[in-house]
Amino acid sequence: MRGVGQSPTVLKKEREGDFFMSKYVAEPFRIKMVEPIKMTTGEERLMKIKEADFNLFNLASEDVYIDLLTDSGTGAMSQEQWSAMFLGDEAYAGGRSYRKLIEAGRDVFNYDYIQPVHQGRAGEKILMPLLLKEGKFAVSNMHFDTTRAHVILAGGRPIDNVVPEGKLPNVRSKFKGNMDVERLEELIEEKGDKIGVIIQTITNNSAGGQPVSMKNMAEVYNIAKKYNIPLCIDAARFAENAFFIKRDEEGYRNTSIRDIVKEMFSYGDMFTMSAKKDFNVNMGGMLAIKDDKANSDLVQNIKASCINFEGFYTYGGLSGRELEAMSVGIYQGMEDSYLTYRIGQMEYLAARLDAAGVVYQSPVGGHGVYIDAKAMFPHIPYYEFPAQVLAIELYKEAGIRSCDIGSYMIGNDPDTNEQIESEFEFTRLAVPRQVYTQAHFDVMADALIAIKERASTIERGYKITWQPPILRHFQAKLDKI
């Protein structure tokens, strides 16, 4: 085991029986523009987090040194995307930029109807009330926060159904984001026609950015067909999921990412997508239906809801400039060199944490590293929010903003209003695309190692002093216990 001061490039890490060099993957791009970021002192950060009521969403961005709150819309766009924005057709209806995006979407995903929306949750807001109502259930490999909220707002109830190994951070296993297929059939037999939709989230965000195998997607889709239940793909990180299938699933090593993506989407009836992830744009999303003729009423209802909530359906709440950037990003996000670098960043940070004994959801996922805060603070109970404790400590230690993916985020039971105990207590370090360098990743690792060394001195967690009724983690106010 090396010390923090040793070169990270000499570290070796064991992964499924093989040793490999955990060397930082060089960026497949040059940097043309930089944004200065402010350095703060520990005293300043302590004052700022208190002023923010210990909610990292309340911090001003200029008071954050490394921002890992989300990878959604925070990446650096390419020169081709910036150039395309000058071609934006800002027509209210039937714009050229809209048609360009639809052609690209049909080419990549092979779905008939594609509806642009301003981001993924807009697609959920439109779709979920058309599939769910009071008394209905949505079964997912795991719902993320906005998906869970829109299921509940539509009157339904979410059921998470990830494979058992997905709940064990220390267990190294491929495709820990998979749906538990056996349990899925049991749920369908138990609930009958009360299941309104099955949702496959790729990659599985709440389970640590873990991928879903092609085999699992096919199995779940066949079950959905057997019981005539619509299957919706939550597709925000589809390209990263395809990369894991190519690298780790038997039979796909020599298959292109494009072909893997097309097969993945064949195992769904519809999808919602935040394009702010794998399209690497600052704003945008999609809602799509595979067979528009068989679902003509659904498509008409989607158009009507889009006009009410987002704007006319040929722009979906987006400017022509943003539609153009999406049309370029849809292809660039699937490039092999980019995806190798992207996942390589996560592997590099994970290797440093392995050497220091910091526990995370392993193997590392696609868009971030999920630190096991329960392992870091075993003495802090779930109702004192250990993942939020670690997120706050990271900011105090090094000005790093991260996010709780645990009991604080999951919130209260919508029927009993009691605090739910999450399957995980993760602190998510979600890495923006093409933004941070190796030196920044070393700052992340050093900060986590320092916190681990003093973890036993942090005796208590936080209590909520005010919260909204849903999606509380965005706005809640907390105080130290």
Tokens of 54: 């210990």
Q: In Å, how far are 93, 98, 132, 212, 312 from 115, measured between CA atoms?
A: 13, 9, 20, 25, 10
- Nearest CA among 310, 285, 289 for reference residue 299: 289
β-sheet bridge partners, residue 160: 140
Whether 89 is a known active-site residue: answer: no
Q: Do strands 400-401 and 66-67 pair parallel, antiparallel, or not at all (unpaired)?
A: parallel
CA distance 432 to 88: 25
- Check 67, 234, 269, 404 and give the catalytic one: 234
Spatial CB neighbours of 5, under 8 Å, sequence gap ≥ 6: none
- Check 84, 236, 325, 373 and give the catalytic one: 236
| CA dihedral over 34, 40, 46, 51, signed as positive or negative | negative
* 438 SS3 class: helix
- Check 54, 111, 137, 144 and give the catalytic one: 144
The count of other CB atoms within 10 Å of the CB of residue 50 is 11
- Check 48, 118, 277, 374 and give the catalytic one: 277
Whether 430 is a known active-site residue: answer: no
Tokens of 332: 């660039």
On whether the CB atoms of residues 118 and 317 are closer than 8 A, the answer is: yes
Q: Do strands 231-234 and 477-480 pair parallel, antiparallel, or not at all (unpaired)?
A: unpaired
Spatial CB neighbours of 31, under 8 Å, sequence gap ≥ 6: none
- Check 136, 143, 246, 473 and give the catalytic one: 473
What does DSSP assign to residue 214? H
Whether 379 is a known active-site residue: answer: no
Rounded to 10°, the helix 145-153/120-131 angle is 30
Whether 236 is a known active-site residue: answer: yes
Tokens 């993924």 belong to residue: 120
Whether 92 is a known active-site residue: answer: yes
- Check 18, 92, 415, 439 and give the catalytic one: 92
Active site residues: 92, 144-145, 234, 236, 277, 473
